[in-house]
């Protein structure tokens, strides 16, 4: 099955969108066909790379599905990027057509790459044109076009250096959406909230493609704001929500149990969900958050907690048809309870990074995708993330996993966010530094926090410094930007 064919799973007269406007599956199919004919008339054909720069909207969905139905390869772009960052992706991905919500001034930045030609197609112009004109039906896909063909290039958030484009096929995305449905009891009657950004794989596969596969309805929100999100959930009776930990943290602080009472399933991904945060949310809203794990290079969902048997702090079990293992630095598989790198194999794994053969070879080895995450598996087959391989701190020759310290800090009264990094130290190699965000009105006493940790951590795990900040740097999808903290620490030292 191809990605755009998922529309056919829904019943013609059933709702596919509840908000911001109502639309049935039959109406969506017609809209996608109109967009398809228009894009073909604009010169877009099979194999073309087409950029998509917009916030969440029904138009985003129609554009994406119409482009893939032509066999074009969609390149969703983070709408929060600057002109310089956007131009880099447009150049790197060899994009000549860009679909946007509003025109972008990119000429100056593109000129730096020797690029002048770029066709910009805006939603407003597309809709106005389609209301005034009709276009001949675009031809069917070539007979040889199959699910192994590239569908999308997802650019990573660029937490280290330039972002890399993960090439995902139709099969990657469809199989992941289908496999995920075996782990989570979403049904045709559900109303699924899409408030995570659609340019990211998490939102697209889980909130859009999985919902289409099941014939469910979708409520689309442009961006996340706690009060506005809660109001839409209540008004439109949303039943399934996908979010990242910072969203659930803010909703906990909002503390309006009645606003979210229609939601029967809360899912968290994108970053590790602190156990204390999960417990706090459940105590307020009465419904647990179910945690999963994934990465763009795996379409993205890899593991998920079984709703009937979830474990706090665990990312759950491998999806059906997906193989997950823990290996050491030599690639040898480790046993229960042993800590190593989490690797993935199966039909959800990317083809590779666009135009980056060396980085592809580093990530894809002997059929396994190396995630860079340190984890272990328990006796029930549940996986637990210990930390990111690159975030591990080596202090006085000892391996220190920041997440262990962060989880402990979340239990300290008044702490709402915590981050731990290693900073250069002439004596230890690396010293440990903790950053804290406190709840409004909560007092901060550095000495008291240190005494709290000293009673609970081995001496080599003790932070040498604890820094109070107003907020922690994050990517738009909620991942903590520890690189920014390390750069700030280095700049302060110099």
CA separation for the pair 110, 129 (Å, rounded): 27
Helix, strand, or coil (residue 481): coil
CA-to-CA distance for 479 and 270, rounded, in angstroms? 7
Q: Is the pLDDT of residue 476 over 80?
A: no
Average pLDDT over residues 179-183: 95
Percent of the chain beyond pLDDT 90?
Answer: 86
Residues 195, 250: Cα–Cα separation, whole Å: 14
Q: What confidence tens digit (pLDDT) does each residue in 96-133 have?
A: 999 999 999 999 999 999 987 899 999 999 999 999 99
According to DSSP, the residues that pair with 398 across neighbouring strands are: 395
CATH code for the part of the protein at 1-389: 3.40.50.12780
* CB-based contact 434:462 (threshold 8 Å): no
Domain extent listing, the chain: 1-389, 392-493
Residue 478 has pLDDT above 80, yes or no: no
Q: Tell me, what's the pLDDT at 160?
A: 46
pTM over 0.85: yes
Is CATH 3.30.300.30 correct for 392-493? Answer: yes
DSSP states along 323-349: EEEEE-TTS-B--TT--EEEEEESTTS
The 10s digit of each residue's pLDDT in 264-322 is 999 999 888 999 999 999 999 999 999 999 999 999 999 999 999 999 999 999 999 99
């Amino acid at each position: 099955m191809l990605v755009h064919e998922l529309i056919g799973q829904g019943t013609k007269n059933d709702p596919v969108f509840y908000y911001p406007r109502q639309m049935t599956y039959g109406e969506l199919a017609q809209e996608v066909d109109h967009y398809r004919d228009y894009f073909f008339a604009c010169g877009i054909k099979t194999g073309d790379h087409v950029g998509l720069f917009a916030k969440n909207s029904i138009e985003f969905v129609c554009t994406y599905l119409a482009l893939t139905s032509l066999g074009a390869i969609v390149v969703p772009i983070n709408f929060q990027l600057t002109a310089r960052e956007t131009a880099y992706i447009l150049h790197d991905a060899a994009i000549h057509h860009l679909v946007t919500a509003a025109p972008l001034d990119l000429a100056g930045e593109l000129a730096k790459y020797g690029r002048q030609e770029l066709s910009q197609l805006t939603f407003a112009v597309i809709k106005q044109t389609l209301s005034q004109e009709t276009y001949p039906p675009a031809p069917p896909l070539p007979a040889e076009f199959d699910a192994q063909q590239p569908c999308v290039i997802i650019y990573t958030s660029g937490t280290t250096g330039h972002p890399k484009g993960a090439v995902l096929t139709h099969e990657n995305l469809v199989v992941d959406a289908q496999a995920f449905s075996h782990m989570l009891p979403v049904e045709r009657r559900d109303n699924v909230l899409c408030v995570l950004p659609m340019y990211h794989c998490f939102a697209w596969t889980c909130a859009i493609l999985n919902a289409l596969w099941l014939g469910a309805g979708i409520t689309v929100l442009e961006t996340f704001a706690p009060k506005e999100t809660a109001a839409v959930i209540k008004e439109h009776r949303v039943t399934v929500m996908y979010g990242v930990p910072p969203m659930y943290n803010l909703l906990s602080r909002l503390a309006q149990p009645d606003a979210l009472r229609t939601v029967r399933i809360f899912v968290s991904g994108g970053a590790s969900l602190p156990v204390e945060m999960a417990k706090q949310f459940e105590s307020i809203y009465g419904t647990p958050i179910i945690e999963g794990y994934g990465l763009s290079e795996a379409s993205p969902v890899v593991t998920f907690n079984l709703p009937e048997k979830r474990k706090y702090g665990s990312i759950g079990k491998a999806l059906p048809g997906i193989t997950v293992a823990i290996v050491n630095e030599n690639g040898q598989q480790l046993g229960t309870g042993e800590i190593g790198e989490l690797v993935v194999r199966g039909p959800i794994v990317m083809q590779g990074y666009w135009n980056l053969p060396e980085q592809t070879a580093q990530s894809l080895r002997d059929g396994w995708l190396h995630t860079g995450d340190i984890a272990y598996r328990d006796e029930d087959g549940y996986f637990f993330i210990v930390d990111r391989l690159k975030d591990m701190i080596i202090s006085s020759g000892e391996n220190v996993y920041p997440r262990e310290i962060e989880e402990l800090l979340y239990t300290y009264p008044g702490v709402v966010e915590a981050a731990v990094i290693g900073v250069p130290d002439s004596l230890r190699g690396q010293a440990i530094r903790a950053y804290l965000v406190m709840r409004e009105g909560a007092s901060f006493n550095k000495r008291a926090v240190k005494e709290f940790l000293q009673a609970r951590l081995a001496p080599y795990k003790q932070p040498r410094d604890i820094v109070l900040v107003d907020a922690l740097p994050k990517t738009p999808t909620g991942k903590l930007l520890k690189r920014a903290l390390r750069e700030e620490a280095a700049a302060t030292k110099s």
